[in-house]
Amino acid sequence: MIRGIRGAIQVDANEVTSILEGTEKLMRALIEANSIHAEDVASVVFTVTADLNAAFPAEVRKRIGWDFVPLLCAQEIPVPDSMPRIVRVLVTAETQLGQKEIRHQYLGAAEALRKDLRS
């Protein structure tokens, strides 16, 4: 079954290191929580808030070894008063997990974005 797996993290600053380290932390949490294997991933879409432009989150592919997975970056809709410095991700992957078994990962302050998913 193909499933969408979501997550988000607030990074510390609009700096290459901060964006890539935060994105890596988010991706590793998603991978571990859902037993995701690169071969099972159809695609990954990252979005960032308008205040993040120092790096493409998709560069994380080098850190997690997903060299052949299609990754895309885009900018979030700039909603007034939304949480700043957020990297969001949608991983589309083949999994045996049911929809209610998927473990979406909203880390740190980004947990407030999806209070309904708290365990």
Residues that are catalytic: 6, 61, 73, 76, 88, 106, 114
pTM: 0.94
Question: From CA 57, how far away is CA 49, in angstroms rounded?
Answer: 12
Cα of first residue to Cα of last residue in the chain, in angstroms, is 23
Q: How many domains does the chain have?
A: 1
Give the position of tokens 């008063």.
81
| Structural domain harbouring 65 | 2-117
Specify the CATH number for the domain of residue 99.
3.30.1330.40
pLDDT in tens, 6-41: 999 999 999 999 999 999 999 999 999 999 999 999
pLDDT in tens, 60-72: 999 999 999 999 9
